[in-house]
Amino acid sequence: MNMRNKMQAERSAKEIFEQATKYAFDYSDNVESRSVFPSEKAIEDLRLFDEDMPKINGDASQILDQLHTFGSPASVAQTGGRYFGFVTGGALPVALATKWLTDFWDQNSGLYLMSPISSMLERVTERWLRGLFGLPDHVGASFLSGTSMAIFCGLAAARHRIYSNHGWDFNRQGHRGAPPIRIVAGSTSHGAVIKAVALIGFGLDHIEWVPSDKQGRLITDELPALDNSTIVLLQAGNVNTGSFDPIEQVCQLANEAGAWVHIDGAFGLWAGATSELKHLTSGMEKAQSWSVDGHKTLNTPYDNGILLCADQEALVAALQASGSYLSYSEHRDGMLYTPEMSRRARVIELWATLKYLGTQGVDELVFGLHQRAMQFADELTDQGFLVINDVVFNQVLVGFNRDDRYTLDIVEHIQTSGECWVGTSIWDDAKVIRISVCSWATTEEDVSRSVRAFVAARTAIGN
Ligand SMILES: *Cc1c(COP(=O)(O)O)cnc(C)c1O
């Protein structure tokens, strides 16, 4: 059989899709009972993948079988309830099912002409996001791979606006001879913010760092004088403590000076979509751009990042694309708002997530993460552990007042127990344990069981 006939037979017989479905359900049925991090054997077995690329076309069923037998056990059980590493987020069932369905569409969301459905859902989702965050009507959304890219695009729009206000056409004239742009950022800014500043060419040595308080919040009184050549980078959700910069105060000063404010709220911006935690992002509507992820707090599958930008003219000009074969339309052409031309229609999963949750569901989901984080902190404290941050959102930091080796031993014991997975960070020059509650799947019992893993680790390590 030639290859095309074989593939047509695979498509119509559907056996490989049924096989994949069976494996996926098997994975999902076991995700709560398996070890959260893969076992040593599962990691060792990964060697099987390290082979030469085959010469002849293979067997689809065998490929799926290899993936399920050796790939599934070597994955991290991030869609279960006891993964608290980094700030990742699970995936809502409806979002996964939507992804399955729309994988068969394989849409390119670059132009309306390439995917009317994607164009429509980008427009609708953009409007819903404005509503959720209380942003004005002229704010637009870009659907990107993640927050890193969203910060990058926000900076590109800011640069375009500042330069055009100064009579400088950045796209044509570039950096050479350009008037300087100032970058002001809090001293605990996320690595993705720093990366974006470097990538875009502002130069890390030129960042004017603003000192932060004990919780990692930028101190407003320490801000340098702002002007209309300044970009201020704020944080909604410090990646260690979960704290929020004083958004209202800084935006006020920046607006008076004509500076551009970008708020990085990869996971924390969603506080602004709740009733109980909304105070944390108070004043956010006064900024010019915002970056936020669907794939963290909101629990869409990866990769799902969003840039919200109040200056669509500057954004589109900064990301300009032209080509004789491109036909823009009356409708929304997604690629005007992103660096990429071809792009998967990730908005569909975001749309399905928002449609499923509704505004009340978003509130319940995000506030629920906060409640589980509070429970974590309370139970750890009851057990004699030291929680060193104010748990304002979903992050809990545990310190030990011991040498770093002790902290690492505790963490390693917890991680290898398979009971849950927590990571480490450095806070106040010491190693700490960092807990991020970010999945809808985490129950009260998951938290208690994870606290028991902390206690067991302390008992096992002894003094
Ligand atoms: C995760 C994160 C980022 C980077 O986002 P990606 O989606 O991983 O690119 C930026 N800022 C903060 C605060 C984050 O938590």
Walk along the chain (463 residues) and give the pLDDT tens digit of each residue.
799 999 999 999 999 999 999 999 999 999 999 999 999 999 999 999 999 999 999 999 999 999 999 999 999 999 999 999 999 999 999 999 999 999 999 999 999 999 999 999 999 999 999 999 999 999 999 999 999 999 999 999 999 999 999 999 999 999 999 999 999 999 999 999 999 999 999 999 999 999 999 999 999 999 999 999 999 999 999 999 999 999 999 999 999 999 999 999 999 999 999 999 999 999 999 999 999 999 999 999 999 999 999 999 999 999 987 777 777 788 999 999 999 999 999 999 999 999 999 999 999 999 999 999 999 999 999 999 999 999 999 999 999 999 999 999 999 999 999 999 999 999 999 999 999 999 999 999 999 999 999 999 999 998 7
Q: Is the CB of 453 under 6 A from ligand 1?
A: no
Q: Is the CB of 82 under 6 A from ligand 1?
A: no
**From ligand 1's centre to the CA of 266, what distance in Å?**
5
Pairing label, strands 140-144, 182-186: unpaired
**From ligand 1's centre to the CA of 148, what distance in Å?**
6
Q: Is residue 448 part of a domain?
A: no
What phi and psi values does residue 52 have, to the nearest 5 degrees? -75, 150
Mutate which of 148, 297, 306 for ligand 1? The one with the most ligand atoms within 8 Å of its CB, which is 148
Q: Is the CB of 186 under 6 A from ligand 1?
A: no
Structure tokens at 173: 């004239």
Q: What is the pLDDT, as a whole number, of residue 327?
A: 75
Structure tokens at 149: 């890219």
**From ligand 1's centre to the CA of 462, what distance in Å?**
36
Where do runs of H (alpha helix) occur along 134-190? 147-165, 170-173
Query: d(Cα 116, Cα 103) in Å, to the nearest integer?
Result: 16
Q: Is residue 25 part of a domain?
A: no
Q: Which domain holds residue 157?
A: 99-354
Query: d(Cα 214, Cα 240) in Å, to the nearest integer?
Result: 12
Angle at 134 between CA 319 and CA 188, to 5 degrees: 65
Where do runs of H (alpha helix) occur along 220-346? 247-257, 312-318
Q: Is the CB of 126 under 6 A from ligand 1?
A: no
Mutate which of 293, 297, 299, 393 for ligand 1? The one with the most ligand atoms within 8 Å of its CB, which is 293
Residue 28: count other Cβ atoms within 10 Å of its Cβ: 13
**From ligand 1's centre to the CA of 64, what distance in Å?**
31
Q: Is residue 455 part of a domain?
A: no
Instruction: Tell me the residue length of the chain.
Output: 463
Q: Is residue 201 part of a domain?
A: yes
Q: How many CA atoms lie within 13 A of 316 on its CB side?
A: 14
The residue behind tokens 């310190």 is: 399
Residue nearest to atom 14 of ligand 1 (CA): 266
Burial per residue of 220-235, b for 16 or more beta-carbon CB atoms within 10 angstroms, e otherwise: eeebeebeebbbbbbb
Of 263, 273, 205, nearest in space to 236 by CA: 263
CATH code: domain of residue 276: 3.40.640.10
Q: Is the CB of 237 under 6 A from ligand 1?
A: yes
> In the chain, how many domains are there?
1
Q: Is residue 175 part of a domain?
A: yes
Structure tokens at 96: 């996964």
Q: What is the pLDDT, as a whole number, of residue 237?
A: 98
Contacts of 267 (CB under 8 A, 6+ apart): 87, 89, 237, 292, 293, 296, 297, 394, 436, 438
Query: d(Cα 116, Cα 462) in Å, to the nearest integer?
Result: 62
**Is residue 306 within a helix (H) or strand (E), and if so which, with residue range?**
strand 305-309
Q: Is residue 212 part of a domain?
A: yes
Contacts of 98 (CB under 8 A, 6+ apart): 348, 349, 352
The residue behind tokens 């990571």 is: 423
Q: What is the pLDDT, as a whole number, of residue 194?
A: 97
Q: Is residue 342 part of a domain?
A: yes
Sign of the four-CA dihedral 59, 79, 194, 430: negative
User: Do 169 and 218 form a contact (C-beta atoms < 8 A)?
Assistant: no
Q: Is residue 158 part of a domain?
A: yes
User: Do 237 and 298 form a contact (C-beta atoms < 8 A)?
Assistant: no
The DSSP output letter for 236 is B
